[in-house]
C-alpha cells in the first residue's frame, strides 16, 4: 500500500458552508468531514445549486466557512498567511482569463508570484518550474501566443499550468471541463489524474460529467440537495444506489450495469435482441434511444432482432407480427423502425 495516500494535505471537520447576505446566513451544506490526500484525484459531483462551487471556494480560503475547522498540511487554515497559503494551495476557477495583451508565458509566470512578488524577477528555479508546467499540461509551443488567440482547451491548459507553477501540493478546480469538447475533456482528466499520482498532489475537481468522473477519479465526493456529503470509490457508489438517489428523476433511470443514466422509454414497447457483438450493443442503444425497452427472454415484445455476424458483413434479421425482414446496416434498421407505426398494442 502506498503510504503517501495516508498523508492528508487538506482536511475539514464539521464544516458548514454557505454565504451571508445583509447579516443573514444561508447554509448550503453542513457537518462535512473530509480529507484530500497526497496522490489522490477526487471528483466532486452534485445537482445544480447543491454547493459544489461554494465548497471549492471555502476550501480555497476565498470565503469563510460558517462553522467548523479547516487544516492545510496539519496547520489551522486561517493561521497561515495569504502568501504562504498561496505556496500550498492553487485554484482554477471558471472565470474567464485576462486576455488583454498578455501572452501565455506571462500568465503562467504569475504562478511564481508567491515566491517572487510583483516586482521580483524570475530566477533559474522559477524559469524551470514554468517550463515544467507547460510540459506537464502538454502546452509546449503556446508560450508566445496571446491568451486571446487560444482555444478554450488551450486556455484551460494554461490556467492549470499557472496553478502548477505555484508549486502547491493541493489544487482545487471548479468545473475546468465545462466548455470543452469530449476529446479535450478526456485529455484534461488524464493529465490531472496523472499529475496527482506522479507528483503526489491532492487534486479536487468539481464536474457535472458523471461518466468521466466514474472513469478517472480515485474517489468521489457527492453533495446532496439536503446538504450532505457522500464519499466513496466510484464503483462502490455506482453499485450502492447513491447515484439513483441523488440524480435520478421522473425522466431518468440509473443503469448500474452500464454505469450511466438512461431516459425512461415512453411508450415502453419491448424488443428482443440476440447477439453479443459490438453491432448488437449499438443496436440496443439505438432501440433505447427510439423509445424501446429491451425485453427479457420470457417477456412479450413488439419485435425481435437477431444480429448475425457473417464473414464479410452483418445482417439484422427482424421478426414482427409473424413477418420477417433482413437489413444489411444499422441505418436501414433504424429507418425501418422509424417508418413503422408503433403503439403499445402492437
- Given a cut of 90, whether residue 235 has pLDDT beyond it is no
Dump pLDDT digits (tens) for 24-39: 888 988 899 999 999 9
Task: Write the DSSP string, 287-308.
Answer: HHHTTEEEPPTTS--SEEEEEE
> How does DSSP assign 156-171, residue by residue?
HHHHHHHHHHTT-SEE
In the chain, the largest separation of any two C-alpha atoms, in whole Å, equals 83
**CB atoms inside a 10 Å sphere around CB 22:** 4
Reported confidence tier of residue 314, pLDDT bands at 50, 70, 90: very high
pLDDT band at 230 (very low <50, low <70, confident <90, very high): very high
Q: What is the mean pLDDT of residues 57-73?
A: 92
Give the rounded percent of residues in the chain with a pLDDT score beyond 90: 50
Task: Check: CB of residue 133 under 8 Å from CB of residue 161.
Answer: yes
- Contact 234/248 with Cβ under 8 angstroms? no
Which of helix, strand or coil describes residue 249?
A: strand
Entry field: residues in the chain: 346
Cell digits for 207?
A: 464536474
Quote the CATH superfamily of domain 3-250: P-loop containing nucleotide triphosphate hydrolases (3.40.50.300)
Query: For 141-161, how does the pLDDT look when each residue is reduced to its tens digit (9 = 90+)?
Result: 999 999 889 888 898 899 999
Count Cβ atoms below 10 Å from residue 283 Cβ, excluding itself: 22
Angle of helix 124-136 relative to helix 152-165, nearest 10 degrees, comes to 140
Residues facing 26 on adjacent strands: 19
Confidence of residue 344 (pLDDT cuts 50, 70, 90): low
Q: What confidence tier does 1 reach under pLDDT thresholds 50, 70, 90?
A: very low
What is the 8-class DSSP label of residue 103?
Answer: B
pLDDT for residue 5 is more than 60: no
Q: How far apart are CA 62 and CA 327, in angstroms?
A: 60
- Residue at grid coordinates 484551460: 156
Q: What is the rounded CA–CA span in Å between residue 103 and residue 148?
A: 8
Q: Give me the pLDDT at residue 244, please.
A: 72
Give the residue-averaged pLDDT of 57-63.
92
Judged against a pLDDT cut of 60, whether residue 267 lies above it is answered with no
Distance CA 310, CA 327 (A): 13
Sign of CA dihedral 102, 106, 112, 115: negative
Q: What is the pLDDT of residue 15?
A: 94
Task: Give the mean model confidence (pLDDT) for residues 289-298.
Answer: 85
Lookup: cell for 213 = 468522473
Residue 124's alpha-carbon distances to 60, 128, 129, 280, in angstroms, are: 29, 6, 9, 58
Task: Show Cβ contacts of residue 279 under 8 Å, excluding neighbours closer than 6 positions.
Answer: 307, 309, 314, 330
Residue 263 has pLDDT above 80, yes or no: no
Distance CA 177, CA 174 (A): 9
Architecture of the domain whose range is 269-339: 2-Layer Sandwich (3.30)
- The three-class DSSP label of residue 236 is helix
Is the N-terminal amide bond of 337 cis, ω within 30° of 0?
no
How confident is the prediction for the chain on average, in pLDDT? 87
The predicted-structure confidence for 92-136, as pLDDT tens digits, reads as follows 987 766 666 789 999 999 899 888 766 668 889 999 999 999 999
pLDDT recorded at residue 273: 93
User: Residue 223: CB partners within 8 Å, gap ≥ 6?
Assistant: 29, 44, 45, 46, 50, 51, 52, 55, 229
The cell for 197 is: 499520482
Q: What is the pLDDT averaged over residues 67-87?
A: 91
The order of strands in the sheet holding 219-223 is 89-92, 170-174, 202-206, 40-45, 219-223, 229-232
Q: Where are the domains of the chain?
A: 3-250, 269-339
- Look at residue 222 and tell me whether its pLDDT is greater than 60: yes
Amino acid at each position: 500500500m502506498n503510504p503517501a495516500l495516508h498523508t492528508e494535505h487538506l482536511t475539514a471537520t464539521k464544516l458548514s458552508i454557505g454565504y451571508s447576505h445583509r447579516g443573514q446566513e444561508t447554509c448550503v451544506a453542513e457537518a462535512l468531514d473530509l480529507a484530500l490526500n497526497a496522490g489522490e484525484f477526487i471528483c466532486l459531483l452534485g445537482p445544480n445549486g447543491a454547493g459544489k462551487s461554494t465548497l471549492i471556494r471555502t476550501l480555497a480560503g476565498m470565503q469563510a466557512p460558517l462553522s467548523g475547522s479547516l487544516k492545510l498540511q496539519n496547520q489551522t487554515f486561517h493561521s497561515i498567511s495569504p502568501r504562504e497559503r498561496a505556496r500550498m494551495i492553487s485554484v482554477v476557477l471558471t472565470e474567464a482569463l485576462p486576455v488583454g495583451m498578455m501572452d501565455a508565458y506571462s500568465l503562467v509566470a504569475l504562478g511564481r508570484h508567491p515566491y517572487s512578488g510583483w516586482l521580483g524577477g524570475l530566477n533559474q528555479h522559477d524559469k524551470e518550474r514554468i517550463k515544467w508546467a507547460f510540459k506537464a499540461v502538454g502546452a509546449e509551443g503556446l508560450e508566445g501566443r496571446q491568451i486571446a488567440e487560444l482555444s478554450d482547451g488551450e486556455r484551460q491548459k494554461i490556467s492549470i499550468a499557472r496553478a502548477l507553477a505555484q508549486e502547491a501540493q493541493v489544487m482545487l478546480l471548479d468545473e475546468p471541463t465545462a466548455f470543452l469538447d469530449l476529446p479535450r475533456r478526456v485529455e484534461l482528466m488524464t493529465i490531472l489524474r496523472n499529475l496527482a499520482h506522479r507528483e503526489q498532489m491532492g487534486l479536487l475537481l468539481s464536474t457535472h460529467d458523471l461518466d468521466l468522473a466514474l472513469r478517472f477519479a480515485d474517489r468521489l465526493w457527492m453533495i446532496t440537495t439536503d446538504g450532505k456529503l457522500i464519499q466513496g470509490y466510484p464503483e462502490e457508489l455506482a453499485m450502492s444506489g447513491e447515484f439513483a438517489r441523488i440524480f435520478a428523476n421522473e425522466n431518468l433511470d440509473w443503469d448500474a450495469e452500464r454505469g450511466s443514466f438512461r431516459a425512461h422509454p415512453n411508450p415502453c414497447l419491448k424488443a428482443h435482441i440476440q447477439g453479443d457483438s459490438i453491432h448488437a450493443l449499438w443496436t440496443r442503444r439505438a432501440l433505447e434511444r427510439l423509445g424501446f425497452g429491451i425485453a427479457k427472454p420470457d417477456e412479450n415484445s413488439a419485435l425481435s432482432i437477431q444480429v448475425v455476424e457473417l464473414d464479410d458483413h452483418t445482417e439484422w434479421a427482424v421478426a414482427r407480427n409473424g413477418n420477417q425482414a433482413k437489413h444489411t446496416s444499422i441505418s436501414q434498421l433504424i429507418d425501418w423502425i422509424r417508418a413503422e407505426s408503433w403503439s403499445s398494442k402492437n
